[in-house]
Structure 1
């Protein structure tokens, strides 16, 4: 177990520190307790918490599983006959409608295949009151590119006004991230009917930001209201980015006419005006699968910090932001989860201050709850 200290930032000072630190320089984090909510899963890509306390997760290969408030775990029936699950793509991001208690609407992001049509899309479903079944309602937005399933991640964040932010991968096609007309390598912002949301740089387009490689985490800072993303780098430089409408985050891998991953993650030379990352992993990358903000005084001086879940890194990483939210001033890695549960896909903050995690080890996966001791 970790050991708490009076101030995890004392040794780090207060200067800007965007690149990731070495382990020897990491600040201490509060001791944690880890418990299992659902087990026996295979790549549960995401998890949501309903107002009644039910937890719902979805396996990438195509299965919904719920844990009811009394502790019973059950499979939730759903017609996923058009699911396309290949490579990194399948049943992915989940989100509950802002008014779920009244309308029972769930949003799911997934690969889709029907006839000659293959893409990644967000669909809506209604959830039975007893959590026995999901009934499809319709497609919110479709047309996210996919070729082999690579870089086909998709995360959904529900905004305070009920609109949807959606992170999309670039499908490993070099021209996608900088194509303003395409939906790959972007963060989109749409209404629940799929129309461009208010505040988008082009009122006729769903694109909110561009120049991304494979963002798989989205979170809103509860203090500032700013939206942040975290995305996979190639063999280096995973990034946390603060999103601004119309921002270009500088991924342009179309050099020499092929998907050239030797280019910088943020390339201000070939992408004038590219916005620098708030944080970069350097080498090696940790492969971030999700992000959230730590909530509650029980986190001590880490309250309000970013928490990243890591696949390759098999860890959580805490990032304390500067007052302006533009850089990182302290970084920590809880030892209780460092390699202890394998690859961690998703992380979500809960109203009681705990975190919900999903692991991604292909078998024996779990939904976990993490609390500061």
Structure 2
């Protein structure tokens, strides 16, 4: 299937300016800003260019309702054009809520799924032409004999939302660690027929900087064939960007073509990165002897001179960022077009108001309705009607929630 190039698609893959390393800010000023944000917003730290809490615009009140309950570690959630909601539990169960309010489990053969550590059934995304093809993409672990890998597979679903049928394995061989750490795995389809895939480094020290490895990367493939997409920065390779640790979120900023990746840090520096084709984001835990050194900086210009600075970083401690989406609609007020980030350890949704260039953060907020009330937040998924879907990841009566800005304040 040829890749169709259009003027509006070209901007999606055009190189974007690199964020600065916060020029003009002293270490002391950055620390003061971090401490203020911890107190006011209950987040770990401010990112480059963030405003002080006093200048942050008011956040709308939020209404939160449960769409689906009784779940066990749901990873992703998607909403179909007919209003059907689909989520998948890490253990391999697909659960659906139909427009009439009925819920059910979709029949799907996942007998070759392995659930190990952080891994199992992970990212889900609907094809842009889902109305015509009934196609969706799933990222999950797979075992055959003694070989375990992570793969992205396409499926079709019947019109009644009762069963999933596998159609093609698009990518396989994504690395898996023996402890089940750092598997990614977010999938993001685009209108030009390509698919972006965020992967983890599987705690392989060499993987993030190795173009021969699919770990620690953002990949870009043809969504129909799985082949490297036309126009990729490294000819013949599916690699779109490299130097990542564990990419858990991918989203497009509407109207700009800007792609943002959210990844998890070590003991510090969860990051939001603005992707540039061929860009290196500076994670290099390789000491030269194969040892996986997690004490090095997430973005390390000393070890990786071409490293691109993060748009936002959590700073001296992690909150475990796990997903991202851009919320839209006038009911969000001055936070319309903000980047929402699902947070596991910090148990919140963090909203980042980006600057016009998309290379810095002007303000951030963690609204109380979504802070500490629902436990760990795995996925945030913005909806065309201005609402947002969330999945919790606690393992104890997890839920799919719908969040809507209220008219009151």
TM range (shorter): over 0.9
Does structure 2 conserve the Cα–Cα contact (< 8 Å) formed by 1:223 and 1:304?
no
Quote how far apart the aligned CAs of 1:197 are: 1.2
Quote how far apart the aligned CAs of 1:29 are: 1.7
Tell me, yes or no, if structure 1 residue 199 matches structure 2 residue 231: yes
Does structure 1 conserve the Cα–Cα contact (< 8 Å) formed by 2:258 and 2:275?
yes
1:355 corresponds, among 363, 376, 388, to 388
2:148 corresponds, among 118, 124, 128, to 118
Does structure 2 conserve the Cα–Cα contact (< 8 Å) formed by 1:56 and 1:65?
yes
Q: Which residue of 1 aligns with 2:270?
A: 238
Q: Which residue of 1 aligns with 2:39?
A: 23
Q: Which residue of 1 aligns with 2:134?
A: 104
Query: Stretches of 4+ moved more than 3 A in 1?
Result: 15-21, 25-28
Quote how far apart the aligned CAs of 1:88 are: 0.5
CA displacement, residues 199-249 of structure 1 (integer Å, 9 cap, x when unaligned): 311130000000000010000000311100010001111000000100000
2:86 corresponds, among 56, 65, 84, to 56
Equivalent pairs, count: 359
SS of structure 1 residue aligned to 2:191 = coil
1:42 corresponds, among 72, 82, 98, to 72
Q: Which residue of 2 aligns with 1:88?
A: 118
Q: Which residue of 1 aligns with 2:46?
A: none
Q: Which residue of 2 aligns with 1:311?
A: 344
Tell me, yes or no, if structure 1 residue 160 matches structure 2 residue 191: yes
Residue pairs, 1:7-22, within 5 angstroms: 21-22=37-38
In structure 2, distance between residues paired with 1:286 and 1:154: 18
Q: Which moved more, 1:251-260 or 1:93-102?
A: 251-260
SS of structure 1 residue aligned to 2:235 = coil
In structure 2, distance between residues paired with 1:218 and 1:263: 24
Q: Which residue of 2 aligns with 1:263?
A: 296
5+ residue gaps in structure 2? Answer: 1-23, 41-51
TM-score computed with the length of structure 1 as normaliser: 0.94
Quote how far apart the aligned CAs of 1:310 are: 0.1
Q: Which residue of 1 aligns with 2:333?
A: 300
In structure 1, distance between residues paired with 2:155 and 2:191: 20
1:223 corresponds, among 241, 246, 255, to 255
What CA RMSD, in Å, does the superposition of the two structures yield over aligned residues? 1.5
In structure 2, distance between residues paired with 1:344 and 1:301: 23
Does structure 1 conserve the Cα–Cα contact (< 8 Å) formed by 2:240 and 2:278?
yes
SS of structure 2 residue aligned to 1:70 = coil
In structure 1, distance between residues paired with 2:87 and 2:401: 11
2:242 corresponds, among 173, 193, 210, to 210
In structure 1, distance between residues paired with 2:204 and 2:213: 11
Q: Which residue of 2 aligns with 1:144?
A: 174
Does structure 2 conserve the Cα–Cα contact (< 8 Å) formed by 1:29 and 1:333?
no
Does structure 1 conserve the Cα–Cα contact (< 8 Å) formed by 2:59 and 2:333?
no
Residue pairs, 1:246-285, within 5 angstroms: 246-255=278-287, 257=289, 258-285=291-318
In structure 2, distance between residues paired with 1:153 and 1:88: 9
5+ residue gaps in structure 1? Answer: 1-14
In structure 1, distance between residues paired with 2:367 and 2:98: 29
> Which has more helix, going by share of residues?
2
Quote how far apart the aligned CAs of 1:256 are: 5.4
